[in-house]
Amino acid sequence: MRDSKVRVAVLVSGGGTNLQAILDYIEAGKMPDGEICAVVSDNADAYALERAKKHNIPALTLLRKDCDSKEDYENKLLALLRDHGTEVVVLAGFMRILSGEFVSNFEDRMINVHPSLIPSFCGKGFYGLHVHEKALEYGVKVTGATVHFVNSIPDGGQIIAQKAVRVHKNDTPETLQRRVMEQAEWKIFPKAVSDLCRKIRKGKK
């Protein structure tokens, strides 16, 4: 609809701290051009679903095991997103690689947060805590987070924002993950979502 807020669907798989950061950003009045229309999880136990419910946001689950194939999964996901009037898709710890065909439905309208400075420690197999394990194994002194558009190459889309975070001497994957979230992801991701909504809404006027 002309001049209505941009409808954002958030795809999740786990704890949903990045979803929470977006919810807090909205609640603080920092996202005037966007609203969350649905949260969709591929994991029924994802705490992210509880976070959505607390905000009266439709919290939906679509399990891979209930679908015949990856194609079937993506068709059902697309139908769910369309049912909720989705204009922008935000991947907030969604642990599933989406096909190029699916992604093409949301060209320049789908963004992801990744817990490293792309092009380091990214691509297939690099997700969640593994990313920080690999960064520590390699011995980097600086890591960080990246927000990028999603295209058909895993973690290969155009970079929108990055923030560097220092690695400490005694870091474990868990302590490093937490610092990257606090100092980078929760800051750059909500802002990137808001900026994208502003740009899209401006185009509607």
Give one word for 138, left, alpha or beta, with left for phi > 0 and alpha for psi -120 to 50: alpha
Find the residue with minimal CB distance to ligand GAR: 93
Residue 61: CB minimum distance to ligand GAR, A? 15
In whole angstroms, what is the distance from residue 88 CA to residue 100 CA?
Answer: 16
In whole angstroms, what is the distance from residue 73 CA to residue 98 CA?
Answer: 10
Our CB check for ligand GAR shows the closer of 11 and 197 to be 11
In whole angstroms, what is the distance from residue 160 CA to residue 170 CA?
Answer: 31
Residue 116: CB minimum distance to ligand GAR, A? 8
In whole angstroms, what is the distance from residue 155 CA to residue 19 CA?
Answer: 19
| Nearest Cα to Cα of residue 192 among 154, 156, 155, 163 | 163
Report in angstroms the alpha-carbon separations of 190 from 51, 57, 179, 197. 16, 17, 17, 11
In whole angstroms, what is the distance from residue 59 CA to residue 40 CA?
Answer: 6
Our CB check for ligand GAR shows the closer of 81 and 181 to be 181
Residues that bind ligand GAR (CB under 6 A): 12, 14-18, 48, 92-93, 113-115, 127-128, 131, 181, 185
Our CB check for ligand GAR shows the closer of 188 and 200 to be 188
Which one is catalytic: 55, 84, 114, 148?
A: 114
In whole angstroms, what is the distance from residue 161 CA to residue 57 CA?
Answer: 27
Residue 17: CB minimum distance to ligand GAR, A? 3
Our CB check for ligand GAR shows the closer of 12 and 110 to be 12
Q: Provide the 10 A C-beta neighbour count for residue 58.
A: 15
Residue 93: CB minimum distance to ligand GAR, A? 3
Our CB check for ligand GAR shows the closer of 190 and 201 to be 190
Residue 157: CB minimum distance to ligand GAR, A? 12
114 catalytic? Reply is: yes
Which residues are known to be catalytic? 114
